[in-house]
Amino acid sequence: MRKDFDIIEKERVYRENGLDAKKDVGFESTGLDIQEAKLRTIQYFPSLASVVKNFTFQNDGSGTEGGVACTDTKSIIKLNAVLLSSAGIEAAVDIIAHEALHTEESAEGLLGNIASDGVINARLRASGRSMKLGGIDIPNAIQMGTQAIYAFLNKAIGYVNSVTGSSPDADSNSHEFTREEVISACYGNYALWARLVNWVKTKDKEKTQSAQPELALVF
């Protein structure tokens, strides 16, 4: 009897907070209380209430391409409910908030997603979230902003594509970065990120110098 009362009470609270169970698809028997996760999200982030209340949430592990979550930024958020169930309700709150914030921070393609993820995760950490599942972690991401990070990563990949060969010594001044290292630098590897920044600055300088016209010799 007490269990039934608790369920009825929780459903009442969800309704009072504008949460519609009809917008939750496929979460039955997954172990993740999606309504509770959504409620905690809007309690912690009131500014995200409109997205959380109005978007359709789908349990679709395959739709997230093996990851944790994804969104079309318009009306749907897909979650890997099994993974989030094992990670815990607070991890689910982090992920829901992250996907909701993609309605504010987004850019095209893999590098654009990395850039926006960096800013979003930095905002969540700054708000006090632990980000249990980790993810993209770029130094000074909030100060740089999504578009600046996106432009920097595009430039770095452009330089990678122009390089032939690579030094085996990652600490060498002559080390040439690979695409994999550029991406790896975005996952909380601050030392590698610092080397990447210096490498791009060096490439910028080399490009500027090579673009300068040679002075004609006058006899």
What does pLDDT average to in each consecutive run of 10 residues of the chain (219 residues)? 67 89 92 96 97 96 73 96 94 98 94 97 96 95 98 97 59 75 97 97 92 56
Predicted local distance difference test score (pLDDT) of residue 204: 96
Predicted local distance difference test score (pLDDT) of residue 171: 45
Predicted local distance difference test score (pLDDT) of residue 5: 57
End-to-end CA distance of the chain: 104
Strand ranges across the sheet with 56-59: 24-25, 56-59, 76-79, 69-71
Model pTM?
0.86
Predicted local distance difference test score (pLDDT) of residue 186: 98
What's the pLDDT tens digit per position in 12-32? Answer: 889 888 999 999 999 998 999
Predicted local distance difference test score (pLDDT) of residue 167: 45
Residue 126 backbone dihedrals phi, psi, to 5 degrees: -65, -25
Predicted local distance difference test score (pLDDT) of residue 172: 45
Distance CA 80, CA 133 (A): 13
Closest Cα to residue 24, out of 4, 41, 38? 38
Distance CA 203, CA 51 (A): 42
Q: Which helix (H) or strand (E) holds 71?
A: strand 69-71
Distance CA 83, CA 31 (A): 10
Domain boundaries of the chain, sorted by first residue: 2-104, 107-209
